[in-house]
Amino acid sequence: MRRAVVTGGAGFIGSHLCERLLDEDYEVLCLDNFLTGRPENVAHLTGDPGFRLIRCDVTDFVHVSGPVDVVLHFASPASPIDYLQRPIETLEVGSIGTQHALGLAREKGARFVLASTSEVYGDPLVHPQPEDYRGNVNPVGPRAVYDEAKRFGEAITTAYRSYHGVDTGIVRIFNTFGPRLRPDDGRAVPTFIRQALEEQPIVVAGDGSQTRSLCYVDDTVEGIVRMAHADHPGPVNLGNPHELAIVDLARWIKDLAGSPSEIAFGPLPQDDPQVRRPDISRARDVLAWEPKTPVEDGLRRTIDWFRRALAQQVVQVGSR
C-alpha cells in the first residue's frame, strides 16, 4: 500500500484530499495542529484502518516512521481573516514548515507537492495569469504575509529539487469552494452563503466589479492527485477559467439559496486583487486536467451543506 503524508490534512482542501487518497488505496497520515483546520473535517475518516490523524505543528518538527511515497504540503492559514490575525504563524509555516516537509520528502525519497496559490500573482497586470507571469505583489502590504510565504515556499521547493534532487511539484490553487469551508472563513463564497441563509445583508466589498474564478473542491483535488502522480516540477495553475464579478456571485448565491437578503456594499480591502483567472493550458497539457463541475452545481452542493451545518449548530446551541 502506498503511503501519503498530508500536512494541513484537517483543513478544507486537505480533508478532501485525504478522503480522495484513501479512495486511491493510499495509507494516509494526516498532520495538523488545528490552528485553522478542524478534527471534525476528518472525523468520518478516523474509522478507516488506512487513516491516521496526528496532531503536529510542522514548524516544530516532522517525523514519520516507515516509508512514504508522497508528501503533500497543505499546512497554512488560507483565508485573509486567518492570515491577517496570524501573520507570524503564516510566514513560519510557509518557510520553516515547508523546509521541514521538504526534509521529510528528502529523507523518504518521496514525491513532494507544494500547495501554492494564485495569490503569488498579487493584483495581476497580466490577464489571465499564466505560470510564467511573475506577479504584482506588495511585499509590505497586509496580504504580503500569505503571498510572500507562498512565494518563498515555491523558491525553497525549487532549491530542494535542484540542489538535493528531491522530486518536487508545485500547484498554484485558485479560488476553491465546497463543503467544509468554515462559515466564519471570511472568503466570499462561505460569507455570502452564511449571510444568505441567515437572511442578513450580503455584503460585497467595494463596488463588486472585481472578479474571481471559482473551482469546485473535487476538481481541485483531482488536479492535485494528478500532480502527485506526475513527475513535472510545475508550477501548474489549478483553477476554473470561468470568471465572474463578485457582485454577480453574491446575486447568484442569493437566488440559489432562495434568500430575501439584500445586497449591500462595504469597503474594499487594501491590495484586494481586481481580476483573477487562470490560464490552465499547462494543466491541460501536463496533467490532462480541467475542471468538470459547473459552478452552479458546486454552489448548490455547497449551499445544501451549509444549510445542514448551520441547522446543526442551532440544534447544538439549543440543547445546551
Q: Of these residues, 83, 121, 146, 216, which one is catalytic?
A: 146
Residue 41 included in any domain: yes
In a domain, 267, yes or no: no
- β pairing state of 176-177 and 215-216: parallel
Q: How is 164-187 classified by DSSP, letter by letter? A: H---EEEEEE--EE-TT--TTS-S
The H or E element spanning position 69 is none
Q: What is the DSSP letter of 136?
A: B
In a domain, 190, yes or no: no
- 146 is known as an active-site residue: yes
Name the more confident of 215 and 318.
Answer: 215
pLDDT band at residue 318 under the 50/70/90 scheme = low
User: Could you give the number of structural domains in the chain?
Assistant: 1
Residue 106 lies inside a defined structural domain of this protein: yes
Average pLDDT of the chain, as a whole number: 95
DSSP 252-297: HHHHHHT--PPEEEEPPPTT--S---B--HHHHHHH-----S-HHH
Report percent pLDDT > 70 for the chain: 98
| Distance, CA of 140 to CA of 82 (rounded, Å) | 18
Q: Kindly state whether residue 108 falls inside one of the protein's structural domains.
A: yes
What is the structure's pLDDT at 314? 57
Full residue range of the structural domain in which residue 31 is found? 2-180+215-241+274-293
Average pLDDT for 121-142: 95
pLDDT of 60-77, one tens digit each? 989 999 999 999 999 999
Q: What is the pLDDT of residue 7?
A: 98
- In tens, the pLDDT along 17-48 reads 999 999 999 999 999 999 999 999 999 999 99
Set of cell numbers at residue 60: 516544530
**Rounded CA separation 55/293 (Å):** 33
- Whether residue 317 is predicted with pLDDT greater than 80 in this model: the reply is no
- CATH number at 138 reads 3.40.50.720
Task: Identify the pLDDT of residue 316.
Answer: 53
Q: What does the pLDDT average to over 279-307?
A: 98
Q: How confident is the model at residue 272 (pLDDT cuts 50, 70, 90)?
A: confident
Is 192 contained in some domain? no
For residues 272 and 77, which has the higher predicted lDDT (pLDDT)? 77
Residue 311: its pLDDT value, please? 85
The answer as to whether 206 is a domain residue is: no
pLDDT, position 271: 85
User: Is residue 208 assigned to a domain?
Assistant: no
Question: pLDDT value at position 320?
Answer: 52
Angle at CA of residue 115, ends 146 and 280, nearest 5°? 105
